[in-house]
Amino acid sequence: MHENTLILIEVGALLLGMSILGRIAARFGFSPIPLYLILGLVFGEGGLIPLDASADFFSVGSEIGVILLLALLGLEYTATELLTNLRQSKWAGALDFLLNAVPGAVFALILGWGVVGAVALAGITWVSSSGVIAKLIRDLGRVSNRETPTILAILVIEDLAMAFYLPVLSAVVVGVSLLQGAITVAIAVGVVSLILFIALRFGGFVSRFFSPDHPEPLLLGVLGLTMLVAGLAAQVNVSAAVGAFLVGIALSGRVAEQASELLTPLRDLFAAVFFVFFGLSTDASQLFSMLVPAIVLAVVTIGTKVLTGYLSAKRAGIGVPGRWRAGFALTPRGEFSIVIAGLAVTAAGIPLLAPLATAYVLITVIVGSILARVPDAPWFKAVLRSRAAAVRAKQAAAN
């Protein structure tokens, strides 16, 4: 069979399967993300029926999915709002690193993986998945919630921190000189600063390049600009997702509204592709070897992420329900964790890190997708009301 024909058959079959799983998830009122991951595992490397021909399509599609998820989130905010949130979230960023990177480093040292393993596993447990969380926020209708800017600020801080972290990790595992690492970091920081400056000072000018009254040129132009900036950002070791997010920030007014409407169907398609590809690229046969350590690590760091989100939202003056929503939403890890594991395994020769990272990410994505819905559950709201009533009663008794 011709390769292109086989690609069409595989892609078509997977898309139909995703449609069925999406309807099942909608029928029972939960996120389809875990089902998309399981579908990818079934048909990925080490699965029941490995599909190889469509791997390149899903690889590129997954990149586009993450870019569109973050770009459309960026369209919801202005550059001024972003900078304000980043300034207010410096404490949250420091807390996030302390509570979530340190456990990973300690766990690696306990396993005897040394300094390289500690640096790598610290990054794996530290950074949440922008792609997964962006989809959860949208699926649950929380884009306009008060806690969402706090969540996004933490995600942006993490992704920006990767501009520093990845060169440092490369220097540790490959033995790159301190000067080369410093140059890479300086370039990355300069690019992010330039994009932020353009978004803040010339956002209106950028928007005037596009006309909201002509849908097709607007769709092509905004999509092209987003992918171009994301690619250039990735080229200098800045997250492509950060580049896409900042493009969304730079656009405003009717252009932003129309672009969001036009890009939404594309985002939905490629975001689903992202999660299926994550499963496709995972060797299911290797997961069991590190399943127990991954579960232990996931339990610890899911707890620390919930604490991070809760305390950060509390500091931002958000009510108790919003604090829990922020904490639960931040728990999934994803794309960066896999990238970090791949770099460490390839360059440093820690083979067990790959199955540990894969099992860990799958656990946090599946559990995190479920936990994100918990604050909306009637029983959870009842618990919060009961606790609030008990606190008021205690305060009244004390007075």
> Taking the CB of residue 366, how many other CB atoms lie within 10 A of it?
18
- Structural domain includes residue 282: no
**Per-residue pLDDT, 300:** 96
**Per-residue pLDDT, 145:** 92
Q: Could you read off the pLDDT of 8-55 as tens digits, one per residue?
A: 888 888 889 989 988 888 777 666 777 887 888 888 776 667 776 677
> Taking the CB of residue 320, how many other CB atoms lie within 10 A of it?
16
Q: Could you read off the pLDDT of 139-171 as tens digits, one per residue?
A: 888 988 999 989 988 988 887 777 667 667 766
Q: How far apart are CA 294 and CA 283, in angstroms?
A: 15
Cα 256 to the chain's mean position, in Å?
22
- Structural domain includes residue 125: yes
**Per-residue pLDDT, 203:** 65
- Structural domain includes residue 26: no
Query: According to DSSP H, which parts of the chain are helical?
Result: 3-28, 33-43, 55-74, 79-88, 90-110, 114-126, 130-139, 148-174, 178-207, 215-235, 240-250, 253-280, 291-315, 320-329, 335-348, 353-371, 378-398
- Inter-residue contact 253 to 38 (CB < 8 Å): no
> Taking the CB of residue 253, how many other CB atoms lie within 10 A of it?
12
Nearest CA-CA partner of 142 in 313, 272, 334: 313
- Structural domain includes residue 350: yes
**Per-residue pLDDT, 321:** 92
**Per-residue pLDDT, 350:** 74
- Structural domain includes residue 41: no
Q: Could you read off the pLDDT of 202-236 as tens digits, one per residue?
A: 767 777 888 888 889 999 999 999 999 888 877 77
Q: Assign residue 311 a region: left if phi > 0, alpha if psi is -120 to 50, beta otherwise?
A: alpha
- Structural domain includes residue 131: yes
Is the predicted pLDDT of residue 184 greater than 80, yes or no? Answer: no
Read off the pLDDT band of 128 (50, 70, 90). very high
Mean pLDDT within 122-126: 93
Predicted TM-score (pTM) of the model is 0.72
Mean pLDDT within 299-308: 96
**Per-residue pLDDT, 106:** 95
Q: Assign residue 317 a region: left if phi > 0, alpha if psi is -120 to 50, beta otherwise?
A: left
Range of the domain at 148: 57-270+299-390
Angle at 61 between CA 36 and CA 277, to 5 degrees: 35
Count how many domains the chain has.
1
Read off the pLDDT band of 1 (50, 70, 90). low
- Structural domain includes residue 5: no
- Structural domain includes residue 77: yes
**Per-residue pLDDT, 129:** 86
State the helix-helix crossing angle for 291-315 and 320-329, rounded to 10 degrees. Answer: 150
